């Protein structure tokens, strides 16, 4: 069990570091709000000499598939929105603030459950995030980043103060050559019900040539992209997602903790008709998903894998 958790934390760390890579015109759409940490690589003072704002709106749907415990099926619809404002701080710093929301609707069929007698594990999960990061460029090839965030996640009637988690960390970004950045650091995050996660941050952003690029795209994953021209981009890859959320007091498990661990793999296209607009579409599969239900003390009461299913997502990015 310890080894499994350690492996998962490593995957998460890689994705966090992805955001420390050089900024791209488009990135994998995800309903989870992401901090604007891509531009923290060396040279951000020239790339972003003025205040900027980015609005990111996205949605995804995972088609119905059966729970591995044979109690029923599950479909999931998600929407997300994030606003990030980034400003230069003389002489060689930048400050970025992100506000975001994710809404998830879990559509369990009648009888689907994680523990006997529970008519429906959960339904509508709300998540609200505020993140801040501060970057400093030390030399032409070295910059550093300090990260902090706070998040609420839970059902609509969950006890408000019991749904909060927070975290922070630091990383350094090394520009080894033109178009090739590596990142290393550490991140610490609290978890619902007590305790913390501690894991390394490791990232890569490699512009192989003018058209091909290998990058984490600001999340726990890895994507290979191909820029057909300045308006169109193709990409393929996958990422790791993990979320925990507080349940209502009137839930079958009062004030319990639910979690959703998943790996979507997608192929997609991005259309940038103008420099300040990008429309994205993805099709793929949710190749792995596991749901867990815990009590308020984090004791696991029930869990089930969810069978693989088709996955669709799309997004709109506006830059100001």
> CB–CB of 214/227 below 8 Å?
no
> In which residue are the tokens 């970004």 written?
173
CATH topology for 2-319 is Porin (2.40.160)
* Torsion (CA) 236, 238, 147, 213 in degrees, nearest 10: -20
| Domain regions of the chain by residue span | 2-319
Residue 35: Cβ within 10 Å count:
25
Phi and psi, residue 47, nearest 5°: -70, -35
Q: What gap in Å lies between CA 110 and CA 105, rounded to an integer?
A: 15
| N- to C-terminal Cα separation, the chain | 46
Tell me the CB-side half-sphere exposure of residue 280, using CA atoms within 13 A: 30
> CB–CB of 18/216 below 8 Å?
yes
pLDDT value, residue 36:
55
Question: Quick one: how many helices (H) and strands (E) in the chain?
Answer: 2, 16
pLDDT value, residue 118:
83
Residue pLDDT tens, the chain, 320 long: 433 433 444 334 443 433 333 333 455 566 666 665 556 777 776 777 789 999 999 999 999 999 999 889 999 999 999 999 999 998 899 999 999 999 999 999 988 999 988 878 999 999 999 999 999 999 999 999 999 999 999 998 898 899 999 999 999 999 999 889 988 889 999 999 999 988 888 788 899 999 999 988 777 788 999 999 999 999 999 998 999 999 999 999 999 999 999 999 999 999 999 999 999 999 999 999 999 999 999 999 999 999 999 999 999 999 99
């Amino acid at each position: 069990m310890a080894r499994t958790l350690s492996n998962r934390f490593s995957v998460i760390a890689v994705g966090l570091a992805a955001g420390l890579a050089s900024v791209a015109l488009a990135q994998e759409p995800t309903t989870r709000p992401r901090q604007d940490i891509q531009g923290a690589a060396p040279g951000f003072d020239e790339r972003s000499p003025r205040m900027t704002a980015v609005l990111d709106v996205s949605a995804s749907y995972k088609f119905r598939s059966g729970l591995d415990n044979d109690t029923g099926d599950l479909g999931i619809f998600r929407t997300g929105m994030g606003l990030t404002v980034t400003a230069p701080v003389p002489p060689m710093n930048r400050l970025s603030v992100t506000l975001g929301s994710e809404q998830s609707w879990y559509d369990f069929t009648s009888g689907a459950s994680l523990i006997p007698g529970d008519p429906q594990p959960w339904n509508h999960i709300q998540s609200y995030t505020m993140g801040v990061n501060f970057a400093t460029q030390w030399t032409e090839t070295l910059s550093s980043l300090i990260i902090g965030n706070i998040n609420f996640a839970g059902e609509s009637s969950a006890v408000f103060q019991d749904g909060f988690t927070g975290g922070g960390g630091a990383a350094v970004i090394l520009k080894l050559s033109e178009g090739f950045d590596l990142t290393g650091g550490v991140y610490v995050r609290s978890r619902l019900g007590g305790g913390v996660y501690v894991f390394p941050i490791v990232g890569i952003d490699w512009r192989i040539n003018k058209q091909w690029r290998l990058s984490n795209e600001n999340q726990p994953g890895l994507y290979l992209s191909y820029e057909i021209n300045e308006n169109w981009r193709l990409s393929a890859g996958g990422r790791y997602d993990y979320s925990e959320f507080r349940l209502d007091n009137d839930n079958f498990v009062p004030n319990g903790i639910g979690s959703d661990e998943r790996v979507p793999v997608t192929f997609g296209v991005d259309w940038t008709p103008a420099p300040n607009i990008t429309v994205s579409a993805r099709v793929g599969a949710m190749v792995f998903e596991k749901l867990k239900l815990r009590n308020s003390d984090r004791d696991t009461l029930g869990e089930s894998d969810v069978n693989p299913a088709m996955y669709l997502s799309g997004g709109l990015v506006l830059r100001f």
